[in-house]
Structures are given as structure tokens and as C-alpha cells.
Structure 1
Amino acid sequence: MKKKKILIRIGSLRHGGAEKVLTTFLQNISPEKYEIDLLLNLYSGKYLKEIPDWINIYYLNHGEMITTNRFQDIPQKAYRVIFQKILRTFPSLLYRFILKGKKYDIEFAAIHGMRDDILNSPQKTSKKIVWIHNDLRKTEFHDYTDAEIRKFFGFDKIMVISEHIQKDFENQARTEDERKRIVRIYNPLDTHEILEKSKIPLHLPSSNFHPLFISVGTVFPQKGFDRLLKVHKKLLEEGFAHRILILGDGYDFENVKRLKTELEVDETATMLGFTDNPYPYIKSADYFVLSSRYEGFPTVLYEALTLNKPIVATDVSGVREMLNDGELGLIVENSEQGIYDGMKRMLTDPELATTYQNKILNFTHPFSLSNSVKKIEEILDLL
């Protein structure tokens, strides 16, 4: 059987949810059926070493992401911006010199940010797919209008990861053909990997054995860690002893860290930065908190559920699906007050946490790794 030639594009393989999901997918897709080229804007990220050897990796620039404006970094930063802009303006140069003139059956935007890069491909006969991981109405840098959403209908298939996102796209579809292009596929999630990595010994300071709330995610304003710290401060002032642990890194890290000091909670709130294995920390915590202002589909909740953690989560996209409409965790108003109410309820009602843990143990999730990979392969095979 002739292998389908597929080009997949993503910015980098840094520590983000979409990057992890793509890596898990590539680890489980059949090398017998596909020939895959992975094109990165920037050759960097923790998941690089986890990409299977049979996948060809190409890149536009090499090195770590530059997040500062230090004088010594400006020349390299400017070079990257100019170089990538030239390739976007003249994509035929990219396909000729970096991709070596290869022809593809399918071109795949692994994140919504690669939309225009794939749609402007000089290979007009290839089928086009996009994977939407976020609620595009509420993204960090760009709130998408109806007109912007409409541009995604240039793809042959639009893969979305939650019911909320699916409904938004369906509302913008103008024909039955456009509606059929939209397909909901839950992110491939590896339960075995989570359980195995959680077994690594971990020794957290007891700090008088106060209950520990953990939150994990890239430190962007989207994740609401500022709200979490303010709630933490308020609960402490009211006499509710507890600790906070935040795992993750990102451009907002120093701002959130500074807020932690300003709130005078450095003794009870810890920011450990990025770790390539958050699972032992989640396992050691008493509760998991999702304080996000918005999400696409928060797969971190699946990790917390796999490790049987009582959850407090703001009511953002994907949470009701993940927590089975509140059966498996406490869904709160998407506000600082909502986070406060949820954490306080956990601290004052220990039986609530036990109830959630018992329900988690007896629940079978639909988020099967094999099912998700199988559905994506079916899409690739039919195009």
C-alpha cells in the first residue's frame, strides 16, 4: 500500500498542551501507512526528543524561544522575524529549499496559528486539515471575529476538541458541506504514561501538613494564576490554612511571581517553574485547581482525574465534558469569587472530596488514546 505523504506544521515543541497532544499522536500513528514531515518554525522544546525516529523534522530557525528584548538578543530576534516573514510572503521558497521540493497528499496545521501558512501553500492539490485546540473567541493575542472563523472553512477538515468549539464553528457554517467538515475528536491522552510517571518518588515539604492545592499550566494570563493567588491570600486571612503549588513556565512567570511577593504569600505559595513530569506533584497534592479564564479543552484535568484528585475548575470550554457536567469535580463560576467559593467548599467539606474521588474511581472516560488516534487516521485515510 502506498504511504500517504503528510506535512504537519507547528511553531515549536515547547511545553504546551497542543505540543504534548501532537507528540502523543505521532507516537501512536502507524508508520506503515504514512510518511510524515514535521515542520517547526523554531527547532526547540522538550518534546523534540519524544518524536519517533521515522518522522522527518524540518525547521525554519534553530534555538530557544527569545522572550526578552535585551539588546544582545535583538539581532537574532529580528533575523527570525524577517526570515519567517519572507517565507510566509513567498511560500514557494519554503517548499523548494527547506522542504526540498517534496509533494504532499495532506497538509496539516497542528494549531490554529498555522492556518494561513497551510492555506497559502503553493501545493493546491493537497488536502488541508486544521486542529483547533482553543476557544478562538478568547485567545491570548487575538479574539477571532466571525469573519476570522469563516477563514477556517478553507480547510477540508476542521478538527475541534470540545463540544463548545464545535458549536461555535457549526454556527458559522453556511452549507451542509461546511458543516460536515467539522469533526470533534478528543485529544489523544495516554493514561498508562500518566500512571507510570506518577510513581517517581517525590518529597514535598510538609509545611505543617496543611492541605495542598496544585495547579499546572503555561504561565499566561489565560491560566488565571493571579486570581488563584488572590484567592489564596483571602482564604488565609479568613483562617483557612492551606498551601498552593503552581507548576509551569511562560512569559507571565515573573509577573505572577512578583504578585505572590506583593500579596505576602511566599511562605505558603510556591512556583516551581517548568517540570517535564508534573504527575508525581499532582499525585502528592490534596486538590487540583483549574483557575483558567478560558480554555479549549483542558487535558490537564484528565491527568488530575487519572490520579484521582478532587478538582475545582472554572466553567470554561471543555470543563463540563471532562468533569461529566459536575459529577466528577466541582465546577465554579469563571471568576475570582467562583474560585474562592470552590476552594473554600473543599476546605470546609472534606466529605465532598471523598465523594468526588469515589465517583472518579467508578467512571469510565470516553477519552481513549486508541479511539482518538483511530478517528484521526480515518480522517487521513478518507481524504
Structure 2
Amino acid sequence: MTIKKKILIRIGSLRHGGAEKALINFLKNIPSDKYDIDLLINLYSGQYIQEVPSWVNLHYLLKGEMITTNRLQDIPVKAFRVLYQKMFIWFPSLLYGRILKKKKYDIEIGAIHGMYKEILSSPIKSSKKIIWVQNDIFSLKEYPPEVVLQFFNFDKILVISNKLEEEMMKLTKNDSQREKLVKIYNPIDKSDTLNKANEPINDMPFENSHLPTFVSIGTVYPQKGYDRLLNIHKKLLDEGLQHNLIIIGDGYDFDSIQALLDKLSLQETAKMLGYRSNPYPYLKKSDFYIMSSRHEGFPTIIAEALILNKPISATDISGIKDLLQDGKLGIITQNSEDGIYTGMKKFIIEKDLAKHYEEQIKSTELPFVLEKSVKHLQEIIDNA
């Protein structure tokens, strides 16, 4: 009889997002007879909860919807949640005793970089510890070098782009630290993306328009650069370059971005649809995907746009050169308003450019194959 490895995986919630989706894709595609997995989420919230395999033991600290606004009435709830979660970092024996029932784990995994303190505070000193870095932490002010150096207390550090690997490598001091770094592609379920893209929708903006339509999908946070995107949309229109723009997603910056849209009088050409559990039909029906982000880790939506053979213009952020193969599969622009402007203008003016990229994508074997990524992750766990 094979002894199952006991694994604890931690993540903030299972709300929509690249890290959350990568984790779910991993859990859905590993053999249940090899592992005994406890999944602990801070907040029992999100569309992916229903996709957690039944054999995975699901635990949570708090229940409730994620607060994505900065309204005054939400501050007390936010403050309570932060303090409650920090209590278990300060007193981890409470967490491991009461919620995890004193279970002993062979491996503990932080499925997103923000969980590094939680995993490192574990009272189980014998467990192997793995952190999965899912964002460009080097562009985040809360991750100065002295904080990132703490990641080398893990046994393995999974990074999802060449840029992250290169930046982490600069901080290493010896071979043992360098050996901890492992580059791994997030597992993307191609068939699931294709199936969802074919589901019917009845609220597609500009469906009967003859003008080209750009779409951007993601949580409406400042890092996504939607303020820059609306400014460039306005600039192009003022130059007579007619086109439409769709933004899909919610988040605490939603109201301010909508206010900017209204201030620029873009109501007829730009639409903010809010959150959609299945954004892929909108992506499929649009002409181009536009990414205006200031920073990302591994922008899963770009991988999914490639699966749908969609022409892409994206700012030069972490993961983009890997995904777009240094510009072979899409336009990579400067990470600025000028860069966003250049990419959008190229697609509007150069009528044959979209077809060129579609043909390039069709003829290229994409590296983020579900089976390969899951196998790589399993090997890391099995050898830990």
C-alpha cells in the first residue's frame, strides 16, 4: 500500500485570478491516490470553490464575500479580517491545533507569494516548504530586497517567468540558494477555455459595429493600467482612429475608472461590463486583446487569448516575453501610455497585422500545456 504524502496548500481565496485558476487546474489534474491534500483558504469566497475536487479537504479561516471597494462602511470588516488572519501568523499553534486538527504535513505550499509569512510561521519544522511566486514582486513596494530574501528560507521557490527567475537569481549568494529556484509555467486548461468561449452570451457590446473592438479582462486595480487605457482610447478617437473598447472585471478601482470614462465622454465607444464568471465569449467575439498593465506575474489571460488565437498588444511586463515569444506571437510595447498607444494604433492602421499574428499563433506549439505543467509540479512535490 502506497503511503500518501500529506500536503497543506494555502491561498487567500478562490476568487477569479490567475494564481487561483492555476491552483485549481493543478488540483483537478493530479492523482487522488498519491496525495492527502488539505487546502486552507483565508476567505471562503470565489467562483473556483465549486471546482475544488471532492477528495481535497477544504478548510477556511473566514466566510464571506471579498470586499473589492474602499467604502467607509467596509473598513471595520476589512480591519477585523486582517487582524484575525494575522493572529494565526503570530500564534500558529492555534491554527494548526484548532482548524487543522494537529495534522502533520510532509509538504506545505504557499500557492501565492503573499502567503510566505503564513507558511514560514508553521510550527511543523520537519515539513518541506514551497512558495509559488505568482506576481512580479520586484515591482511591488511591499517587497523590497530584504523581504524577498526571506523567500530563500523555503526549500523550493517556484517562479512563473524568465524575468522573475532572473531577478531572484540576482539576490542569490550561493549554489544552494540558486538550486531552490524553479521556473514553471502555470497550467492552462486549453479545452476548458475553448469550451467556455463557445457558450452563448446576449450582452456583447458593439456586436453589430463595423469598427474594430479591443477587449481587456482583469480585476480593476491600479496595476491593470485601465486609466492609461482610457486615456489612449480617447487620444486615438481624437485622431480619427475609430474603434471600440470593452473592459471586463470588478475591483476597488472600478468606480474611479468608470468616472474617468464618463469624464472623457467615452460612453458610446467604451463599456465597463463589471465581473463576468465566463469572460471568454467576449474575448472570442472581440478583434484584439489589449493589456495595459503596469505589472503582472504570469498574465494567464494572455495565455488564454493565445489559445483563442487572438491578436494581442501588451505592455512589457513580467511573463509577456515568455508568452508572446519575444514578439513573435503579438505586439510587446513599452510599459507606458505611449507604448499602449503604439500597439493599438498598429492594429487599427495595419489591416493585415492581425492576420499575421493569427497565423503565427496557429503554427506555434504553446509551452503552457496543462499536462506538462502538472507533471512538472508533481515532480517537484514528489522530490521534495
Q: Report if TM-score (shorter chain) is over 0.5.
A: yes
Whether 1:145 aligns to 2:141 is no
Retained in 2: the 8 A contact 1:128–1:156? Answer: yes
Kept in 2: contact 1:137–1:143 (CA 8 A): no
Show the counterpart of 1:335: 336
Alignment of 1:7-22 (within 5 A): 7-22=8-23
Q: CA deviation at 1:80?
A: 2.4
Please tell me whether residue 292 in structure 1 is matched to residue 286 in structure 2.
no
Give the structure 1 partner of residue 196 of structure 2.
Answer: 197
Alignment partners' CA distance in 2, 1:152 and 1:21: 20
Task: Name the aligned partner's letter for residue 377 of structure 2.
Answer: I
Q: TM-score, normalised by structure 1?
A: 0.97
Question: How big is the shift at 1:201?
Answer: 2.1
The residue that corresponds to 2:136 in the other structure is 135
2:42 aligned residue: 41
Kindly state the Cα deviation for residue 78 of structure 1 after the two structures are TM-superposed.
3.9
Change beyond 3 A, Cα 1:267–1:83? same
Gaps of 5+ in 1: none
How far apart, CA to CA, are the structure 1 residues paired with 2:188 and 2:279?
15
Shift of 1:72: 5.4
- 1:365 paired with 2:366, answer yes
Q: Hey, what's the Cα distance between the residues in 1 that align with 2:274 and 2:70?
A: 21
1:235 alignment partner in structure 2 = 236
- 1:85 is aligned to 86
Gaps of 5+ in 2: none
SS in 1 for 2:260: helix
Instruction: Let me know the Cα RMSD of the aligned residues.
Output: 1.3
Question: What residue number does 2:56 align with?
Answer: 55
Amino acid of the structure 2 residue aligned with 1:95: Y
SS in 2 for 1:283: helix
Deviation at 1:73, TM superposition (A): 4.5
State the one-letter code of the partner of 1:145.
Answer: P
2:192 is aligned with what amino acid? E
Task: Give the % identical residues.
Answer: 54
Aligned length, in residue pairs: 381
* Counterpart residue number, 1:6: 7
> Aligned partners of 2:255, 2:377: CA distance in 1, in Å?
38
- The CA deviation string for residues 307-358 of structure 1, in whole angstroms up to 9 with x for no partner, is 1111111111111110111011011111101111111111011111111111
- What one-letter code is carried by the residue in structure 1 that aligns with 2:12? G
Which residue matches 1:175? 174
For 1:267-278, list aligned pairs within 5 A: 267-278=268-279
Q: Deviations over 1:10-62 (max 9, x none)?
A: 11111111111111111111111101001111111111001101101111111
Q: Secondary structure at the match of 2:352?
A: helix
Structure 2 CA distance for aligned equivalents of residues 196 and 245 of structure 1 = 22
Rate the CA distance shift 1:162–1:91 in 2: closer, same or farther, 3 A: same
Q: Which residue of 2 aligns with 1:264?
A: 265
Who is 1:185 aligned against?
A: 184
Q: Tell me, yes or no, if the aligned pair for 2:313 and 2:331 is still in contact at 8 Å.
A: yes
Sort the Cα spacing of 1:36 and 1:356 in 2 relative to 1 into closer, same or farther, 3 A: same
